[in-house]
Structure formats: structure tokens, C-alpha cells
Amino acid sequence: MYFAPRVILEVCETKKTVVEDLFVLRFLRSLTPFVLLLAATVAFAQNVTIVSPSATTVSSPVHVVANFSPSAPIESISVLVDNVEVNQQPDAVTPLDLYVSMPSGNHLLTVNAVQADGLQLTASRSVDVSAPVMAMSTATTSSASSSGPSDETAAIQTSTSGGTSLISHIEEKSGWYMYPDQGNPNCSSKPYLMSSPSLDGTSGRFYLDPTGQFNNCLWPIKLGKSTATHFKLETYFQLSKPLVSQGVEFSSNKHMGTKWYKFSVQCSYYKGVFSVWDTAGSKWVKTSIPCRRPASNTWEHVIVQTEITNGKAVFQSLTHNGVTYTINKSFYPKKGVSSYSFGVHFQMNGNRSGDSYYTWLDNLKYTYW
């Protein structure tokens, strides 16, 4: 049988078209699982994480902190207690960080956010609010910097038993401010509250981004007024990049009239030891206490015991990761304006290469009597 060349060509082209269509169909079917996975990933990314309160039992006012993972800009944020709106932020400042008054008892805390595309994000948490048992003291000005906060700042919650007072979870408090100690680094303005890594559900993350060699950044917070003369500063900390940190510093300070006592402790990874601060001499004094670079993803634990005796700042002991060392060094204070305020600060030190890194603080507390 004879077929014209044109007929044979049309049949071949038809078969080719069918084969190509089948190939495209199979290819599209093969993409279906990936499309579904992408959709699920996007849906999962659109959420609200309530970082604080992390405990089920808290006191009022309740510190509410929430992080957002939106797929579009956040236009508004609202906070509800037992399905009743108690706060709305039309400017949608993120992360959410505020205090909410709640009566004692069990409550449902809800944080809602609305994206620019109309999608609503929400998260809820059950909270038990205990009856008020906390004494309140007023934070005061830091003499470390003329650019610090005013003399009357937000109240800091203090628990008192007998003659001993305790301020816990200082990394979660409002009132922190940033002060470049050396160079011109870019630093976080205050600790950014995180749910991970943390030991109790909430940690404070500090950030140092040097613009040159050996840039340092310091974050003070004023805690109140007192005539106490014995102090204990305790915290856990973790570094994001232990190999690039030059060191970290922890300090408490106390004004007694016109005398300023500063209890600063520096863990220098360059020197390999802890040093303490001579306030009157404005210099670091080395101890024999070892300070080695920690491993990645590990928490370090530091406790510093100090006191004011015979007009001097006395460094009594330092406990590092469960091992207690005697310091027994004392220094004279500096003179300044009359005050009885006290506070703490944390500092991150940059290396020669100007590498940036994070530090997380958790369970930062201060005991005084």
C-alpha cells in the first residue's frame, strides 16, 4: 500500500504531540508532592510564638512577649485575656513586648496579629496568676553613662524574705539600654527575648557586631535603691561563636552616698583567666581563676559573691560551673553624686578581626542584704 509523504509526516507529528503532552502531564504530576510540601511549609511559617510568660504561674502585671513568623508585613497586633481585648497595637511593633495587668486566677492569654494580606495569626496560652506577693522598688539612673535612662524608670519586682531581697530573671526586665564601651559597634539596643536556647523557656539574647578591632558593647540596667552591703550576682550564659569572642563581663554596682562601688568580673579568653575591676585605679586585676572558651551550644554558670567592708569593694569568691574559687581582693570606690541606687550590667568584647556573635543570658538574678 502506498502512503503519500505528507500523510506520513502528519501522522508522525501527531504522535510526537501526544508523547510531548504525556511527558508534560507526568512532569506536572511529579511536582504535586513538592507543591504540597511548599504550601505546608508556608502555612507552618505563618505563626505566633508566645515567649513569655513561659511559666504557668506568674504574678501581675504579666510580662507578655511574642515573636512572629509572617508571610507578609504585620499590620496590627492585639492581646486578649479570656477573649476580651486588653491591648491593641495598630503600629504593629515586633516583637511584642509589654506588661498586662490580670486579676488572680486562671486566664486564657491570646495574641492575634493581622497581616497586610488579611491573614490572621494567633496563639493562646493558659496562665495562672497568683495573688500579689511582690514588693516594688523603683529603678534609678546609671552613673555609667550620661545617655542612660532617667532617674525614675519602670518598677522592678523584688521578692523579700527576712532581710534578704532577690530580683530574678533580670534578662526579661524592661529598662536595659546599650552603651558602646569601646569603638563604634552595632549592638542590640536591649536583650531580645527568645524561647530557644533557654533553660526555663525564656532567655535574653544580646548581639555584638563590631565595625573595627576590639569593639565592646555594654548593657546596664538599674534595679532600685538600697542600703545593702552584701551582694550575689548569678547567671547562665551561652555564646553563639565561642571561638570569636574576646571575652564577657558581668558586673553589679552600688552607690552608698557619694561613693560608687563597682563589682565587675571579666572572663578573658585571651588571657585565660578571670579578672576583677579596681574602681579607684580604673584597671583590671588578674586572678588565678581559669577562664577557658566554652564548647558550642553549652551553658556556662557564674556566681559572684561581693560585699562592702571598711569602705572598700570586696570580691569574696567566684563560682564557675560548680567550682568555687576564693578571690579575697578589695578596692576603693570612686566618688560621685549622692545616691543609694544599684544595678547590674553585661558586656560583650570583640576580637581583633571584628567578628560578630550573640550571647544568651538566662536566670540572671541578684541577691542583696
Instruction: Tell me what pLDDT residue 180 has.
Output: 77
On whether the CB atoms of residues 351 and 245 are closer than 8 A, the answer is yes
Both 141 and 126 in one domain: the answer is: no
Instruction: Tell me what pLDDT residue 23 has.
Output: 56
Compute the C-alpha angle 341/102/46, nearest 5°: 100
Lookup result for grid cell 476580651: 84
Instruction: Tell me what pLDDT residue 9 has.
Output: 45
What pTM does this model have? 0.67
Among residues 191, 150, 153, which one has the least CA distance to residue 170?
191
Residue 18 forms part of a structural domain? no
Residue 87 forms part of a structural domain? yes
On whether the CB atoms of residues 331 and 278 are closer than 8 A, the answer is yes
Both 93 and 203 in one domain: the answer is: no
Both 114 and 145 in one domain: the answer is: no
On whether the CB atoms of residues 62 and 100 are closer than 8 A, the answer is yes
Both 121 and 164 in one domain: the answer is: no
Residue 289 forms part of a structural domain? yes
For residue 48, give the C-alpha cell: 505566633
User: CA-CA distances (angstroms) from residue 15 to 4, 6, 10?
Assistant: 17, 14, 9
HSE-up of 81 (CA within 13 Å, CB side)? Answer: 18
Both 194 and 100 in one domain: the answer is: no
Both 334 and 242 in one domain: the answer is: yes
Both 102 and 225 in one domain: the answer is: no
Both 115 and 152 in one domain: the answer is: no
Which residues, in sequence order, are CB contacts of 20 under 8 Å at separation 6+? none
Residue 277 forms part of a structural domain? yes
Among residues 112, 48, 54, 51, which one has the least CA distance to residue 81?
112
CATH of the domain at 58: 2.60.40.10
The number of distinct structural domains making up the chain is: 2
Residue that finishes a domain, picked among 130, 147, 169: 130
Instruction: Tell me what pLDDT residue 301 has.
Output: 98
Both 94 and 145 in one domain: the answer is: no
Instruction: Tell me what pLDDT residue 321 has.
Output: 98
Instruction: Tell me what pLDDT residue 151 has.
Output: 38
Residue that finishes a domain, picked among 76, 101, 130: 130
Instruction: Tell me what pLDDT residue 40 has.
Output: 42
On whether the CB atoms of residues 137 and 158 are closer than 8 A, the answer is yes
Task: Report d(CA 107, CA 104) in Å as an integer.
Answer: 9
Instruction: Tell me what pLDDT residue 350 has.
Output: 96
On whether the CB atoms of residues 152 and 222 are closer than 8 A, the answer is no
Instruction: Decide the pairing of beta strands 120-130 and 57-59.
Output: parallel
Which residues, in sequence order, are CB contacts of 83 under 8 Å at separation 6+? 108, 110
Residue that finishes a domain, picked among 96, 130, 164: 130
Give residue 119's domain range: 48-130
Both 171 and 97 in one domain: the answer is: no
Task: Report d(CA 78, CA 68) in Å as an integer.
Answer: 13
CATH of the domain at 309: 2.60.120.200
Both 110 and 174 in one domain: the answer is: no
Instruction: Tell me what pLDDT residue 149 has.
Output: 38
Instruction: Tell me what pLDDT residue 179 has.
Output: 79
Instruction: Tell me what pLDDT residue 7 has.
Output: 45
For residue 213, give the C-alpha cell: 578591632
Both 205 and 328 in one domain: the answer is: yes
Per-residue pLDDT of the chain (369 residues; tens, 9 = 90+): 555 555 444 545 555 554 455 554 565 555 555 544 444 444 444 688 888 887 668 888 888 888 887 777 888 888 999 998 888 765 666 677 778 889 988 999 999 988 888 888 999 999 999 876 444 333 333 333 333 333 333 458 899 999 999 999 999 998 999 877 788 899 999 999 999 999 999 999 999 999 999 999 999 999 999 999 999 999 999 999 999 999 999 999 999 999 999 999 999 999 999 999 999 999 999 999 999 999 999 999 999 999 999 999 999 999 999 999 999 999 999 998 889 999 999 999 999 999 999 999 999 999 999
What is the 3-state secondary structure of the chain? CCCCHHHHHHHHHHHHHHHHHHHHHHHHHHHHHHHHHHHHHHHHHCEEEEEECCCCEEECCEEEEEEEECCCCEEEEEEEECCEEEEEECCCCCCEEEEECCCCEEEEEEEEEEECCCCEEEEEEEEEEECCCCEEEECCCCCCCCCCCCCCCCEEEEEEECCEEEECCHHHCCCCCCEEEECCCEECCCCEEECCCCCCCCEEEEEEECCCCCCEEEEEEEEEECCCCEEEEEEEEEECCHHHCCEEEEEEEEEEEEEEEEEEEEEECCCCEEEEEECCCCEEEEEEEECCCCCCCCCEEEEEEEEEECCEEEEEEEEECCEEEEEEEEECCEEEEEECEEEEEEEEECCCCCCCEEEEEEEEEEEEC
